[in-house]
A and B are shown apart, each in its own frame.
Chain A
Amino acid sequence: MPGLAGLFLFDMDKEIKNIKKLIIDQSFKLDCGKTIRDFPLAYETYGSLNKNKSNAILTFHALTGDQFCTNINPITKREGWWTAAVGPDKAIDTHKYFVICANVLGGCMGSYGPKEINPKTNKAFDTSFPVITIRDMVKAQKYLLDHFEIKKLLAVIGGSMGGMQVLQFASLYPDRSHTAIPIACSASHSAQNIALNELGRQAIMADPNWKKENSTPDKGLAVARMAAHITYLSKKGLQEKFGRKLQDEGSLKFSFDADFQIESYLRYQGSAFVDRFDANSYLYITRAMDYFDLEKQFNGNLSLAFKNTKSKFCIISFSSDWLYPTVENKEIVIALNACGANVGFVEINSDKGHDSFLLDVPEFLKTISEFLRSSYDEINNEKRI
């Protein structure tokens, strides 16, 4: 008997058929060794591509994002995940730039992922889907450049897992983007981050409904989301927003109901998440993050990853982000400096933790807006000469 969320996902699946998809019809070798072909990559674009194709920005989403980075997501009917930054007259101004955003490989918003029907069994792949990596995700999204015939992007940008994709893109394609803006990320997932992801996966896999036909591990996925959500906020931010405030003014219920506002908030976050996200996608994407180790791809020397890069980097971290702390972002800066790459770095003061990159943090938005503007002007002036 499918839960309510199950029914909702079923409806969503019907809608997903109507979204933009690029079918990658070449054989595509994954890092795990398996080869896939004729698979869909769902994407969305905002703004319009200019004549000389010099205004395109490829935006990479984080763990639970999708291609609908701004406006109302037509599937979930909620605001896009980066509405704070992307849109007309916003930091990533869609009047001026052409923004491309794809759902990552392994995702659940129309791209090839565990929800896809396996033609051999006529059932969803679920956990028989091949394990994918950040590099696989980035290689797949590069087909969008060919699709739009864009020689060189103005920018690749993304926060968190999106930032990892920026780094991987810059490393794989040193001359395909004028600028690279990795935000609140790391060049290799730390033990703490792997541990936190494992916690989420175990919550899903411990749910008796996981791998059961016609049901979804909603409880497990909700717990995974609750745990993860805590890591996206800072202690100070939580304290200021919730403190010890009670749901019911002034009285404890002496039970295990949600007495505290923070409990009720987390429960809401968990239950709202299962409506829009596939538990198996969560497993696959967190795995891809854990496997990400750009340093290891280059035998322990991160600066070799950027040896040939022609991109100008702007690296941004947040003071209260303990998930991808400034020191990890700075390691990327150090590696870039070691190979003489063009890099700027700033840590933005914010109490909003890792989530800062998704929120209206004026100093942050101003920094990316101005960096993009000056880079765009520089490129277009050069062309005039």
Chain B
Amino acid sequence: MKKEFEVISKIIQNNKRVLDIGCGDGALMEYLKTHQQNDVRGLEPQKNLVQKCISKGLSVIEGDAEKELSQFPKKSFDYVILSQTLQAFFHPEEVLNQLLRIGKQTIVTIPNFGYWKVRLHLLFKGTMPVTKNLPNEWYNTPNLHMCTIQDFVNFCKKKSIKIDKSMCLTNEKISEITKRNMKYKNIFSQLGIFLIQ
């Protein structure tokens, strides 16, 4: 399993109701269901991936998070997961509001646009960064609203979203983000992982 999913699954306690938005082929869902007895649902826009999930016995709904989230009642899940997808929405703020409405807690992970390789790429090459985590060109990237770890933290502050946990991943290594190391982490982390409510 991806290191990111390992971190997410550690945040989630056993026997909880979980909704995984953009669940892909259901790898994380499967782990949460079999190892942590979580009651897991998923939402995924790609048919072939939905079929894969259903084949594994995972309850996944085919659909687009920007349209489908309003059908879930308030606080109907203990955790809602959004892994590396926030930047791909047309209206990330609205999606985030929905997540916070549906979930008692929400786990959001974001590819960090403040990562030093990204910065250097733009600084020296003068072209839009293409890295391992951001493999697309500017004209075909699904990412419409890239942000940095600092951006996301600022956003939460502005919108009075409470951050319960903030962590970051660099080369498979996990560490905490604190007020003091924020600037440093914003340069040296590839991925930010936040538990918010």
Tell me if A340 is interfacial: C-beta within 8 Å of chain B: yes
Shortest Cβ distance from residue A336 to the other chain B in the assembled complex, whole angstroms: 9
B73 — nearest CB in chain A belongs to which residue? Answer: A338
Asked if A367 meets B71 with Cβ closer than 8 Å, knowing A344-B60, A346-B47, the reply is no
Tell me the smallest distance from the CB of A226 to a CB of chain B, in Å: 33
Q: Would you call B73 and A346 a contact (CB within 8 A)?
A: no
* Interface residue ranges of B7-65 to A (CB < 8 Å): 17, 39, 41, 47, 50-51, 53-63
Residue A50 is within 8 A (CB to CB) of chain B in the complex: no
- B63 and A344 contacting across the interface, CB-CB below 8 Å: no
Query: Which chain A residues border B54 with CB–CB below 8 Å?
Result: 314, 344, 346, 367, 370-371
Kindly report which residue of chain A lies nearest to residue B61, judged by CB atoms.
Answer: A345
Q: How many pairs of A and B residues are in contact by the CB < 8 Å rule?
A: 63
In the bound complex, CA of A75 to CA of B60 (Å): 41
A37 contacts the other chain (CB 8 A): no
Known interface pairs A337-B72, A367-B54, A370-B54; A342-B47 also in contact (CB < 8 Å): no
22 CB contacts below 8 A, A to B, read A312-B59, A330-B63, A333-B71, A334-B71, A338-B71, A338-B72, A340-B76, A342-B41, A343-B61, A344-B53, A344-B59, A344-B60, A345-B61, A346-B54, A347-B47, A348-B47, A367-B51, A371-B54, A374-B56, A374-B57, A375-B57, A377-B57
Q: How large is the interface on B (under 10, 10 to 19, 20 to 34, 35 or more residues)?
A: 20 to 34
A342: nearest residue on chain B (CB-CB)?
B59
Q: Does A193 make an interface contact (CB < 8 A)?
A: no
Q: Assuming A337-B72, A338-B73, A363-B51, is B61 touching A378 (CB within 8 A)?
A: no
**Residue picked from A313, A337, A343, A371, most chain B C-beta under 10 Å:** A337
Q: Distance in Å from the Cβ of B60 to the closest Cβ of chain A?
A: 5
Q: CA A371 – CA B53 in complex, angstroms?
A: 9
A247 within 8 A of B: no
A370→B53 CA distance, assembly (Å): 10
Within 8 A of A (CB), among B71-95: 71-73, 76
Please tell me if A366 contacts chain B, counting CB pairs below 8 Å: yes
A48 within 8 A of B: no
A169-B55 Cα distance, complex, nearest whole Å: 24
Q: What residues on A are CB-neighbors of B59 within 8 Å?
A: 312-313, 342-344
Among residues of B, the one whose C-beta sits closest to the C-beta of A316 is B54
A76 proximal to B (CB < 8 A): no
Of the candidates A312, A333, A348, A366, the one whose C-beta lies within 8 Å of that of B61 is A333
Q: Which residues of B contact A313 (CB under 8 A)?
A: 59
- Write the chain B residue with the least CB distance to A179: B57
Q: Is the CB of A346 within 8 A of B50?
A: yes
CB nearest to B52 among chain A residues: A370
**Distance in Å: Cβ of B9 to nearest Cβ of chain A:** 20
Contacts of B63 in A (CB 8 A): 330, 345
Determine the distance from Cα of A366 to Cα of B73 in the docked complex, in whole angstroms.
32
CA distance A349 to B17 in the complex (A): 31
Q: Please report the C-alpha to C-alpha distance between residue A375 and residue B58 in the assembled complex, in whole angstroms.
A: 10
Shortest Cβ distance from B42 into A: residue: A344
Report chain B residues within 8 Å CB of A344: 50, 53-54, 58-61
Q: Which residues of B contact A345 (CB under 8 A)?
A: 50, 60-63
Whole-angstrom distance between the alpha carbons of A366 and B50 in the complex?
A: 12
11 additional contacts (CB under 8 A) given A343-B61, A367-B55: A337-B61, A338-B73, A343-B41, A344-B54, A345-B60, A345-B61, A346-B60, A349-B47, A366-B55, A371-B54, A374-B55
Q: How many angstroms between the C-alpha atoms of A290 and B19 in the bound complex?
A: 36
Given contacts A346-B47, A346-B50, A349-B47, contact A340 B55 (CB under 8 A): no
In the assembled complex, the Cα of A378 lies from the Cα of B37 at a distance in Å of 13
Contact between A340 and B53, CB atoms less than 8 A apart: no
Q: Which residues of B contact A340 (CB under 8 A)?
A: 17, 73, 76
Distance in Å: Cβ of B123 to nearest Cβ of chain A:
45
CB within 8 Å of B: which of A362-382? 363, 366-367, 370-371, 374-375, 377-378
List the B side residues contacting A343 at CB < 8 Å. Answer: 41, 59, 61
- A348 partner residues in chain B, CB cutoff 8 A: 47
Distance A378 CA – B58 CA, assembled complex (angstroms): 11
- Shortest CB distance A370–B (Å): 3
Give the nearest-CB partner of A349 in chain B: B47
Within the complex, the shortest CB–CB distance from B102 to chain A, in Å, comes to: 10
